């Protein structure tokens, strides 16, 4: 039973480029969450999605960030025109409703 999968594991982008982070939830899970972890900080909630719906995006920066979870395929976190401050580890988690969240290994984004 495969866990939550994220790719790529490491991503390097130059300032101004776009970053696309992918997350495939555990089998049978229909809820996906994205978190960001900055150095020496805990995880900060960004967005909660179900298939084709954004349920809660209260933690998403207002500009440049977007997320989707299409009917088919993985969830995508997209960061446009990246800046150095976007460098962080981005974690995806999935769950069944009312159950605990299971985390993927993360994508470490470095902006040069």
Partner 1 sequence: AQSVTQLGSHVSVSEGALVLLRCNYSSSVPPYLFWYVQYPNQGLQLLLKYTSAATLVKGINGFEAEFKKSETSFHLTKPSAHMSDAAEYFCAVSDSGGGADGLTFGKGTHLIIQP
Please give the residue ranges that form the binding site for partner 1 (CB under 8 A): 4, 6, 31, 33, 35, 40-48, 56, 58-59, 91, 93, 95-106, 108
CB of 77 to partner 1, least distance (A): 14
Residue 12 or 83: which CB sits closer to partner 1? 12
CB of 42 to partner 1, least distance (A): 4
CB of 97 to partner 1, least distance (A): 5
CB of 61 to partner 1, least distance (A): 15
Residue 20 or 108: which CB sits closer to partner 1? 108
The DSSP secondary-structure symbol of 71 reads S
Taking the CA of residue 48 as centre, how many other CA atoms within 13 Å lie in the half-sphere pointing to its CB?
A: 10
- Tell me the C-alpha to C-alpha distance, in Å, between residue 103 and each of 5, 16, 18, 84, 95: 9, 29, 24, 25, 9
Residue 65 or 91: which CB sits closer to partner 1? 91
Residue 35 or 86: which CB sits closer to partner 1? 35
**Residues sharing a CB contact under 8 Å with residue 56, sequence separation 6 or more, in sequence order:** 47, 48
């Amino acid at each position: 039973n495969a866990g939550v999968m994220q790719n790529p594991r490491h991503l390097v982008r130059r300032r101004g480029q776009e970053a696309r982070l992918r997350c495939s939830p555990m089998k049978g899970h229909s809820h996906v969450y994205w978190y960001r972890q900055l150095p020496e900080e805990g995880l900060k909630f960004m967005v909660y999605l179900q298939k084709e719906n954004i349920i809660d995006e209260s933690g998403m920066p207002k500009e440049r960030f977007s997320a989707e979870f299409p009917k088919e395929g993985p969830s995508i976190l997209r960061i446009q025109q990246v800046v150095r401050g976007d460098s962080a580890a981005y974690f995806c988690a999935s769950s069944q409703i009312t159950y605990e969240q299971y985390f993927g290994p993360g994508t470490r984004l470095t902006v040069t």
